[in-house]
């Protein structure tokens, strides 16, 4: 392969092969091609692009090499030689013949098919369905003849959905509006680069923006939103109309770069819609140095691509010389690239300058208090905000969690207490305690609550009042009862408690369950188990549950019919 970079590219290809195949198949086949006078540079190029022909038995490959010249009429010096080898090693003669029949069914002569086979053999490697779609469009819809197509292979070689149709539809609108001549040919535009086509036929004409974006993969709303954000950004940067060509070329370079590092078109679209200004990044000065820097600390190309996908904002947080040390520190704290990516996905607007200034010292502080790194990582991935406080403030909160809330640092509730004290002032917490007192809770009750379920004091006063009003005033529960049944206080009132409470009431009234069945017994059930036991078997409660839980009646009816069919 020549270098590690090409070896990595080769290994990334989805070609199923065993390590033993390298000396048994790959090496002999390369030597065979070398013996036929084919340069090692040509072999490497094709090996990285399409490795599968090299993992055939040597007799199969040699037979294909001979047939490429004798049957397809392609010289081994031709750029199409390896396409012919791929065609003959990865497709049976019967399969190739069936694809040639498709061309004949559209009126192609044997001479036309022979010219096709030698000029662009990759077309015969496409599926019959794809070939039919292309020929149907070009010959039946556009009226092109085989003799015309055989001289304009670019029409057949480009993707119908990704290039031909978007450009064809765009040109039609431009002709109808009188912006271009009616005799302008589609094939003249097909070979243009994406940036040149955009500059010449799309960007100057608002009338076709929606048409092109729709066929090129962006929704009209996405295209409008993205272009608006970019226009505002470029205006702030003082870009003039004269720089339009530079912008299009640069944006095209960014997209090409993303494709090269393994991002799919859907991922690229999501990144651009999320952070349109990424199209303004300079590939050589910004993107490549950053990927190289990430590579130097152990991130693979796929890791880097995933990082861009989940958090493109990373590229606007400063120079790579500042970002990389922060990412490296994150990896040391969190443990691996996979978890770093998960962390950054949840913390999209985190300033990486906070990592060495706040996060690292606070993690070190917790370690000095004997808290395990595994426990710290678990909580970091759930919520980083408590760690982004001033170190003195953070240490004060750690001490108060034990001394004032009475929560041991070994307790599962320790981090909930830490969140409470770092995200709420003492005055705010006290005002929430007053709400409990207003419902008759004693100081002892509140102290027990603070140490058992501290996160309740992180809820808003309005939420606490609603819960206590329902549980105590409507259902008549006492504080002592609620403190022993934490799920009544921790579950969402709107999403879980009310839907299940109202469902159980109807079931009791209809006599389907006992009158003394307790609400708290149902709250610990998973949603699927509750549905299976109390909702799906009883049509009488479908409307009640769907109304309070926000699930459509159609879905419940569907679930009920499945339950009935399974029971049958």
Task: Tell me how far apart the alpha carbons of residues 362 and 192 are, in angstroms, rounded to a whole number.
Answer: 55
Residue ranges in 261-355 assigned as alpha helix (H): 265-274, 288-296, 301-310, 320-334, 337-346, 354
Average pLDDT over residues 66-82: 87
- The predicted structure's pLDDT at residue 327: 79
- Predicted local distance difference test score (pLDDT) of residue 14: 43
Q: Does a structural domain hold residue 423?
A: no
Tell me the CATH number at 30: 1.25.70.10
Q: Report the candidate in 533, 523, 514 with the shortest Cα–Cα distance to residue 471.
A: 523
Range of the domain at 558: 494-567
Which residue bears the tokens 């770069």? 257
Q: Are residues 149 and 171 in the same domain?
A: no
Same structural domain, 37 and 177:
no
Query: Same domain, yes or no, for 190 and 71?
Result: no
Q: Is the pLDDT of residue 214 over 60?
A: no
pTM beyond 0.95, yes or no: no
* Domain-located, residue 269: no
420-461 pLDDT, tens digit each: 999 999 999 999 999 999 999 999 999 999 999 999 999 999
Does 99 have pLDDT greater than 90? yes
Q: Of the ranges 66-70, 127-131, 307-311, 482-486, which one carries the lowest mean pLDDT score?
A: 307-311
**Interval 100-124 mean pLDDT:** 90
Q: How confident is the model at residue 301 (pLDDT cuts 50, 70, 90)?
A: low
Tell me whether residue 18 is in a domain: yes
What tokens does 359 get? 């996060």
pLDDT band, very low/low/confident/very high, at 263 (cuts 50, 70, 90) = confident
Between 135 and 56, the higher pLDDT residue = 135
- Mean pLDDT within 3-19: 50
pLDDT of 224: 47
In this prediction, residues 33-49 reach a mean pLDDT of 81
pLDDT band at 16 (very low <50, low <70, confident <90, very high): low
What pLDDT, on a 0 to 100 scale, did the predictor assign at position 355?
86
Domain count, the chain: 3
Mean pLDDT value across the chain? 81
Q: For residues 123 and 88, is the Cβ–Cβ distance under 8 A?
A: no
Same domain, 30 and 171: no
Confidence category of residue 213, pLDDT binned at 50, 70, 90? low
Question: pLDDT tens digits, residue range 472-506?
Answer: 999 999 999 999 888 889 899 998 999 999 999 99
pLDDT given for residue 447 in this prediction: 94
Final residue of a domain: which of 137, 153, 169?
153
| Phi, psi dihedral angles at 491 (to 5 degrees) | -70, 150
Mean pLDDT over 128-155 rounds to: 88
Q: Is residue 315 part of a domain?
A: no
Q: Average of pLDDT values for 398-414?
A: 93
**Residue 232 scores a pLDDT above 60:** no
For residue 351, what pLDDT is reported? 74
pLDDT of residue 562: 44
The verdict on 137 and 32 lying in the same domain is: yes
Shared-domain flag, residues 19 and 149: yes
Query: Do residues 178 and 148 share a domain?
Result: no
419 within some domain: no
Residue 174 forms part of a structural domain = yes
Which are the contacts of 560, defined by CB distance < 8 A and separation ≥ 6? 536, 537, 539, 542
What pLDDT, on the 0 to 100 scale, is given for residue 563?
42
* Together in a domain, 31 and 130: yes
For the chain, what percent of residues have pLDDT higher than 70? 80
Three-class HEC string of 376-417: HHHHHHHCCHHHHCCHHHHHHHHHHHHHCCCCCCCCCCHHHH
Q: For residue 103, what pLDDT band results from cuts at 50, 70 and 90?
A: very high
| Distance from C-alpha of 515 to C-alpha of 533, rounded to nearest angstrom | 16
Residues 107 and 210 in one domain: no
Which of 109 and 195 is assigned the larger pLDDT? 109
* Residues 129, 25 share a domain: yes
Instruction: Report how far residue 568's alpha carbon sits from residue 552's, in angstroms, rounded to the nearest whole number.
Output: 25
pLDDT value at position 368?
94
The verdict on residue 241 lying in a domain is no
Q: Give yes or no: residues 175 and 122 share one domain.
A: no
pLDDT for position 43: 80
Higher pLDDT, 440 or 190: 440
Distance CA 163, CA 191 (A): 10
In the predicted model, what is the mean pLDDT of residues 118-139? 90
Model confidence at 241: pLDDT above 50: no
310 vs 261: which has the higher pLDDT = 261
**Which of 414, 416, 358, 408 lies closest to 387, judged by CA?**
358
The pLDDT, as a whole number, for residue 6 is: 47
Q: Are residues 129 and 175 in the same domain?
A: no
Tell me if 29 is assigned to some domain.
Answer: yes
């Amino acid at each position: 392969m020549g270098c590690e970079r090409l070896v990595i590219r080769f290994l990334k290809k989805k070609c199923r092969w065993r390590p033993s195949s390298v000396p048994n198949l790959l090496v002999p086949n390369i030597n065979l091609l070398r013996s036929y006078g084919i340069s090692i540079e040509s072999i490497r190029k094709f090996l990285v692009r399409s490795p599968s022909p090299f993992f055939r038995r040597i007799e199969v490959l040699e037979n294909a090499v001979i047939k490429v010249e004798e049957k397809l009429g392609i010289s081994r010096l031709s750029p199409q030689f390896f396409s012919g080898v791929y065609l003959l090693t990865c497709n049976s003669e019967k399969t190739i013949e069936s694809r040639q029949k498709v061309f004949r069914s559209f009126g192609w002569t044997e001479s036309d098919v022979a010219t096709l086979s030698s000029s662009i053999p990759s077309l015969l490697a496409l599926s019959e369905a794809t070939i039919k779609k292309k020929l149907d469009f070009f010959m039946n819809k556009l009226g092109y003849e085989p003799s015309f197509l055989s001289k304009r292979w670019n029409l057949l070689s480009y993707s119908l959905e990704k290039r031909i149709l978007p450009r064809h539809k765009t040109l039609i609108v431009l002709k109808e509006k009188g912006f271009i001549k009616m005799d302008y040919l589609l094939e003249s535009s097909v070979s243009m680069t994406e940036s040149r086509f955009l500059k010449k036929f799309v960007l100057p004409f608002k009338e076709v923006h929606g048409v092109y974006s729709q066929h090129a993969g962006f929704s009209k709303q996405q295209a409008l939103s993205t272009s608006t954000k970019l226009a505002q950004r470029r205006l702030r940067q003082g870009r003039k109309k004269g720089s339009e060509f530079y912008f299009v070329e640069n944006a095209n370079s960014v997209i090409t770069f993303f494709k090269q590092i393994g991002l799919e078109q859907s991922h690229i679209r999501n990144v651009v819609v999320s952070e349109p200004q990424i199209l303004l990044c300079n590939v050589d000065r910004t993107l490549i140095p950053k990927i190289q820097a990430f590579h130097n600390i152990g991130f693979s190309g796929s890791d880097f691509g995933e990082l861009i996908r989940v958090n493109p904002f990373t590229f606007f947080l400063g120079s790579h010389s500042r970002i990389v040390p922060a990412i490296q520190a994150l990896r040391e704290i969190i443990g691996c690239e996979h978890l770093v990516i998960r962390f950054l996905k949840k913390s999209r607007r985190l300033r990486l300058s906070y990592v060495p200034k706040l996060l690292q010292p606070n993690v070190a502080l917790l370690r000095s208090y004997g808290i395990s790194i595994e426990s710290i990582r678990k909580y970091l991935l759930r919520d980083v905000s408590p760690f982004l406080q001033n170190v003195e403030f953070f240490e004060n909160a750690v001490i108060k969690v034990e001394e004032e809330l009475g929560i041991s640092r070994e307790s599962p509730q320790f981090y909930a207490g830490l969140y409470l004290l770092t995200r709420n002032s003492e005055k705010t917490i006290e005002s929430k305690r007053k709400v409990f007192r207003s419902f008759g809770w004693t100081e002892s009750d509140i102290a027990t609550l603070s140490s058992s379920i501290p996160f309740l004091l992180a809820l808003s006063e309005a939420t606490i009042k609603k819960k206590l009003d329902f549980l105590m005033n409507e259902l008549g529960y006492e504080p002592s009862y609620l403190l022993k049944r934490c799920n009544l206080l921790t579950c969402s009132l709107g999403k879980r408690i009310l839907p299940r409470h109202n469902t159980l009431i109807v079931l009791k009234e209809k006599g389907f369950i006992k009158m003394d069945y307790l609400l708290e017994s149902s709250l610990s059930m998973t949603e699927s188990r509750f549905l299976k036991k109390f909702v799906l078997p009883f049509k009488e409660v479908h409307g009640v549950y769907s109304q309070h839980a926000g699930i459509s009646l159609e879905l419940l009816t569907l679930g009920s019919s499945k339950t009935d069919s399974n029971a049958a």
